[in-house]
Each structure stands twice: as C-alpha cells, then as structure tokens.
Copies of this chain bind each other. A is one copy, B any other.
Amino acid sequence: MVGRSSRVTIHDVAKAAGVSVSTVSKALNDTGRMTAETRDKIKSIATGVGFRPNALARSLLFNRSFTVGLLTNDTYGRFTLPLMSGISEALVDQGVSVFLCAIEDDPKLAKIHVDAMLDKQVDGIIATGKRIDRSLPVDLAGLPVPVVYAYSQGTEGSVILTADDAQGAQLAISRLRSTGRRRLVHITGPESFASALERANAFQRTVGPDAKVLFGEWTEAWGHQSIAALFDAEGERPDGIFCGNDQIARGVVDALRERGLRVPEDVAVVGFDNWEIVAAQTRPALTTIDMNLKELGRIAGLTILDLAEGRPVAPGLRKLPCSLVVRQSCGSSDQGN
C-alpha cells in the first residue's frame, strides 16, 4: 500500500492557477520565460494556498538531500553540543539539516546509524568524539559521501579539524606570566591522552625543560591531590598553575583555598575547556582556555558543504586557535607590574 499526502503539491497550485505544473515550477524558481504578470499571479496563488515544495522530491532529483549526519560517541555532550551548535549555525541558512547520531562506542550501533544516514542520502558526515586521539568504532573511509573529522582521529588523507592545544597552552602561560608569575606548574590528565601530552610539551617548550608537569586524572580529586603533593613537599612552591581542564582547576582552587592560600593573590590558576558549569561556579571563577568548539563546528559545517558541492578542500590536520576567557582565578594582567 502506498501513502497519500494531504499536503498541497505543485499540482494543486497548477490547478488553482489554471496553468501546467511546469509553468508553476518555472514561475516559482524564477526560471523559464513567461510574462511578469503570469509569474506574479502564480507566485501569489502559491503562497495563498500555502505551497511548500517537497524537499524529498527535489532531493531525489538533484541527488542532494541537504542533510548531513553528525556522528558522536560523546554521550555527555561535553564537546558535541557546542560543535553541533556551530555546525547548525553554519548550515541552517543553506537549508541543510543535521542528523545527530549518538553511538555509544558500539560498533554495531554505529554501523546501523551510518547505513541509515547513507540510505537517507546525506550529503556528508561529520565525525566527532570525546578524544582527539581515538577514532569512532566504525570505518568511515571509502564511503560514497565526504567525511570531516572534528575533534576526533581521522584516516589518512581526510580532513581533520581540531583545537590547537599547544597554542592554547601558550595562551595560558603568557597570561600567567603577564600577571607576574614565574614559578609555573602544569597539572593535567593522563599522559595517554594526546591533548594532555601536546599541552604538556608546549608547556615545557615554553617554560623550560625542567618545568614541572604532573600527569594524573581529569578529576577534581586529582586537583586536590596534586596540590597536597606540591605544597606538602620541600622546596620551591608554584605561584602559577596551569591546569589541563576545568575540573582539575576547580579541585586545585578549592584545595588552595582550604590551605589558606588566596587565589589569585598567592597562586594564580588557569583552567582549560571553559566548561561554564564548572568554570563559572568555582570561587573565584576560573580564567580558562576556550577551544572555540562552536567555531570549530562552524568550520566543519562549511567544509563538509564545500566537499558536498565538489569544491576542493585541502586534506590534513587543521588546528584552530583557542582563546583565553578571563574571569577571576588569574588576577588582572597588570597586577604583576
């Protein structure tokens, strides 16, 4: 059995206007030849009966669905939502909609979703994850549609978009230095995370070879622990701490406060991620690095569009700059002078 639409079609418009469907189509698309009079009459009739062209029919004809898929295994949406927001913003005025597919590290589920998207003729797929150094549990190479990796590992020769961790680290360091801090320490997550490593390397390159880096976990608890370790030990104590993420930074700030140290007067702290919910609720609120994921999403959207429309895009890894978000945990930049 075949469904029947109750929506108004171009045939209804044609009937109402007393012309053929071809004339209606040409009138509405400002193509073909006809008197301005005819065109205007048809247009007004079309809006009068509330005609909106069926995108499915167009898609079938143009082999272009004006739809892209966003594949993610980031259940929390820590990265996905800002990204999604940027993608959507870049594409909405092109009339492109976004399928969001949450695959929970499940290869089977991933395949189902990818197949469904392909069946629905998406113009492209954006793959994203929660780690820059892991790929989704599904092979996206050799698909009949373009793929862009955003904040996820990608295959050889593909387009990969990511935040510039090293530049972000440098931003944090120069902020700390501009407030007069000289004894800097970096407290971050596991060494096994590429972004932790990248930031740590940038930290050591910039601060000096024996600059102290503490690898641990991405948790508040680790922030607490590392402060205990740093301040219970003998020797020089840091006056500026760059944290690998905002949760660690929160733990650090809380631990410092509990020890009677003032933030930012005694120790300045800079976080990473600008996760509002953490950064803004910390007292004092965190100065932190924002990866501009929304902008990353916007560029991912534009890129997939370029690829879908056959415009050339240079493959390879593209690092987008981070920016500094100033709150209170690092003082004002003239404070040190």
Contact = CB atoms under 8 A, between A and B. Distances in A.
Given A2-B61, A75-B81, A281-B247, A56 B120 contact: yes
Interface of A: 2-7, 52-57, 59-67, 70, 75-77, 80-81, 84-85, 88, 92-93, 95, 97-102, 109, 112-113, 115-121, 144, 219-221, 247, 254, 276-278, 281, 283
Given A59-B56, A64-B3, A276 B76 contact: yes
Give how many copies assemble into the complex.
Answer: 2
Contacts of A97: 99, 101, 113, 116-117, 120
Contacts of A112: 92-93
A4 B99 contact: no
Contacts of A84: 100, 102
A95 B116 CA distance: 7
Contacts of A88: 100-102
B62 A60 contact: no
Given A99-B97, A109-B92, A120-B97, A3 B62 contact: yes
A64 B5 CA distance: 9
Given A2-B63, A81-B81, A98-B101, 4 more contacts: A6-B144, A54-B121, A55-B120, A80-B81
25 contacts: A2-B62, A3-B61, A3-B62, A4-B63, A5-B63, A52-B115, A52-B119, A55-B116, A56-B59, A56-B60, A56-B65, A56-B121, A67-B99, A77-B80, A81-B81, A81-B102, A92-B113, A97-B101, A97-B113, A97-B117, A98-B100, A100-B100, A219-B281, A220-B281, A247-B277
